Amino acid sequence: MSEALELGVNIDHIANIRQARFTAYPDLLAAVTQVEAAGAHAITMHLREDRRHVQDADIYAVRQHMTTRLNFEMAATPEMVKIALDVQPEDVCVVPEKREELTTEGGLDVIGQFQRIQTVTQQLGQAGIQVSLFVEPDIEHIRRVVELGAPVVELHTGTYANKRGAEQQRELERIQQAAAFAHEQGIKVNAGHGLDYENTPVIAAIPQMRELNIGHAMVARAVFVGMHAATREMLALMRSARA
């Protein structure tokens, strides 16, 4: 029997539009209202070290006004840990971050940076925050997540999203195997990155999947139909995949 599947909507790209001209619009709180009214289960925001889109004030404002869950994406740095402990989101997803990258590229190095990630995981967990680690769909990496003590893993789906044909099928099989293995270890399984209205259903159909975090494709769709409709459409796709 499949687990219940939830949708976290990443609103970073709404902030990207605003920061392109440093205006007061589009209003992130208005977007949150529409997304939540449409039935989304969480709001995802990545406060980057260079503050290229979401700003500190955005995190606090959304936290104060939202009615669902806040999934705070962050790098494993002392600055971000301090902010997370102050904001107290329900969830934190620890992600890799490079200043020069356009978007997050790949999963955390849970092998080479084991100690640093463990320290962050423990600090956040002791504060009552559910910690997710963003990793590649790789069995060895999942084993390290177990050792790190994180209760949640978010599988990187960017490679799957960028492949086609037989290569995409192989990557899908990696995700399926990683999800099954993580579930067997008692870890909640989420996924995200590069998911859109065409490739999401196959990922949503994975029975162990509990949450998908999707942003860019939904904001792009919202240009034509609005955030409420874009959210409803994605939720409908996810429900159909589980039918």
Full DSSP string of 44-105: EEE--TT-SSS-HHHHHHHHHH-SSEEEEEE-SSHHHHHHHHHH--SEEEE----TT-SS--
- Cα 100 from Cα 162, distance rounded (Å): 20
Q: Is there a contact between 148 and 134 (Cβ–Cβ < 8 Å)?
A: no
Q: What is the chain's alpha carbon radius of gyration, rounded to the nearest angstrom?
A: 17
**Residue keyed to tokens 């909507």:** 9
Angle, alpha carbons 28-30-36 (nearest 5°):
100
The gap from C-alpha 78 to its chain's centroid, in whole angstroms, comes to 21
Catalytic residue numbers read 46, 73, 193
